[in-house]
Structure 1
Amino acid sequence: MRSFRWPPPPDSGPRTWGPGPGAPRTGRPALPEPETELVATPHGVRLERLVTGTGDPVTVFAHGLGNGIATTRPFGSGVTGRKLFFQFRGHGRSDSPPGPWSYHDLARDLRAIADLGGATRAFGASLGAGALCRVLAESPERFEKLVFFLPAVLASPRGEVARSRLTDLLDAVADGDASALADVVALELPPSVRNTPAGWAYLRQRLDQLLRDGLAPGLAGLPEQAPLADPAALAAVTAPALVIATAGDDLHPVPVAEELAAALPHATLHVYDRPGVLWTERADLRERISTFLNG
């Protein structure tokens, strides 16, 4: 099988290695990033925010560790009303107050953006799903609808594989090592996508953002933590919830999603049969999320 290589070809296109036809050498330029704003929060941490759409209802979108606004926007493409995308502390242009940080701190970030924007619905991916759980444990009636995409952790810290991957990501960003960072980020892509125009475009965008904005050292302790001490803390949540997982994802094990769905009184669990659903099941995923939130 042809292997992934970094750096990219000098002509900016993807390149295959070994026998076989070469891949396209050119591609469309990336769209410019939307203009964001820094908003002050009651707990003194300025957070980067993007607001799209108009009217009610309002949905807040919380991203995963090392991700941000760009990676959560596709989940809201079919969602009606106003949408609030933001960067947790230590990501993008958001502040990085002295650490270490906990899920309590992330929950404060999420809660502040939701309150300032009047959000009544919430979406959380991976780390964002954990922060959302912490918000709900403290305020079980805060939201009217909930979506949890690839929850990574609930009441126990992440496993060794996940901790190692996240540590490698933080170390590569801290060192400014583009090659090492590319190796880590490439693991987010299904093998069939890694040496395609779409895969290279995604990789370039992620590396540009991570090397430009960095990731704060305060994030390093989060893989050793869990948002809740006991899943029973979610027993009072009143909102209907959709929990989405994928089989074969080491960073987001299905048992965590099952545990979360069991802890929420009004949850529906959907498990895709293979990882990389943003590439392999994109249309179904977007429709599933928008149908649930808009219904």
Structure 2
Amino acid sequence: MRGFRWPPPPDGGPRTWGPGPGAPRTGRPALPDPETEVVATPHGVRLEQLVTGSGDPVTVFAHGLGNGIATTRPFGSGVTGRRIFFQFRGHGRSDAPPGAWTYADLARDLRAVADLGGATRAFGASLGAGALCHLLGGSPERFDRLVLFLPAALDQPRGPDARERISGLLAAVASGDASAVAEAVAVELPPTVRNTPAGWAYLRQRLDHLLRDGLAPGLATLPEQAPLPDRAALAAVTAPALVIGCLGDDLHPASVAEELAAALPRATLHVYDRPGILWSDRADLRRRISDFLNG
């Protein structure tokens, strides 16, 4: 079995290890990051954001733990109107207030960005889906349309495997060791993508962001918490919702997506039959999201 190796070959490789032909060595250089801004919020936490598109409606995009603007932008590629991508506290150039944080804090970040930008639709991925659920529990009529992608928890904390993976990523980023961070991030890639040009490009982008900006220690306790004390709070949500899960994802069990869809009165559930859907079903996923939000 050819394993993952870091760093990649100096010529941009990649090289495979062991007998067998080498992989293609072509690939485009990564595009520069777009220029973002840091905005002040009413609750005193400055948050980094990127606004693209124009006109109405306005959609806010909330990312997963350890991710950010770069990883949520593809979800909005076909969405009409203005799109607001932002970084939760402790990510990117957003503030990292001292102390441990809760889903209420994340929901406050999401609500502030949505209110300042006039967003009427919301997308949440993983941790962002949890923050969105918490927000909806207190303000069920805040948005007109919702997409919740790979929800990781509802009214129970995440499992031990997820906690271990996340704590490992936080420790690797804190160490500043590029190889350790690469090993922690590589598990996000399906085996078929590792040691390919696309896989290396993804790792390079993730490492650039994580080693440049870091991740705040306040994120460490979030996997031990649940977004909601009781899923019954979502029964008052009036907006149509699209809930997307997939089978075989240890960090985002399909059962959580099913439970969330059952808790939302006007939810449509779609479950992909294998993990790694950002690589295997990317076009279908983006079409599904844009068709729903633009409907």
Q: Distance in 1 between matches of 2:207 and 2:129?
A: 24
Paired residues, number = 295
Give structure 1 stretches of 5+ with no counterpart: none
Matched, 1:149 2:188: no
> What residue in structure 1 maps to residue 161 of structure 2?
161
Q: Distance in 1 between matches of 2:28 and 2:272?
A: 31
Larger mean Cα displacement after TM superposition, 128-137 or 11-20: 11-20
Matched, 1:241 2:241: yes
Matched, 1:74 2:74: yes
Where in structure 1 do 4 or more consecutive aligned residues deviate above 2 Å? 24-27
Aligned with 1:235: secondary structure?
A: helix
Quote how far apart the aligned CAs of 1:141 are: 0.1
Aligned with 1:142: secondary structure?
A: coil
Q: Distance in 2 between matches of 1:25 and 1:240?
A: 45
Superimposed CA distance per residue, residues 140-197 of structure 1 (whole angstroms, 9 cap, x where no aligned partner): 0000000000000110000000000000000000011211111110111110001100
Q: Give the TM-score of the pair, scaled to structure 2.
A: 0.99
The amino acid of 1:84's aligned partner reads I
> What residue in structure 2 maps to residue 58 of structure 1?
58
Superimposed CA distance per residue, residues 246-287 of structure 1 (whole angstroms, 9 cap, x where no aligned partner): 100000001111110010000011000000101000010000
Quote how far apart the aligned CAs of 1:21 are: 1.3
> What residue in structure 1 maps to residue 198 of structure 2?
198
Output aligned runs, 1:105-254, within 5 Å: 105-254=105-254
The amino acid of 2:294's aligned partner reads N
Give structure 2 stretches of 5+ with no counterpart: none
Aligned with 1:226: secondary structure?
A: coil
Q: Does the 8 Å contact 1:258/1:269 carry over to 2?
A: yes
> What residue in structure 1 maps to residue 48 of structure 2?
48
Q: Distance in 2 between matches of 1:251 and 1:219?
A: 16
Q: Give the TM-score of the pair, scaled to structure 1.
A: 0.99
RMSD, aligned CA: 0.7
Q: Distance in 2 between matches of 1:81 and 1:26?
A: 35
Q: Distance in 2 between matches of 1:190 and 1:111?
A: 33
Output aligned runs, 1:20-59, within 5 Å: 20-59=20-59
Question: Equivalent pairs: percent with the same residue?
Answer: 83
The amino acid of 2:75's aligned partner reads F
Quote how far apart the aligned CAs of 1:25 are: 2.8
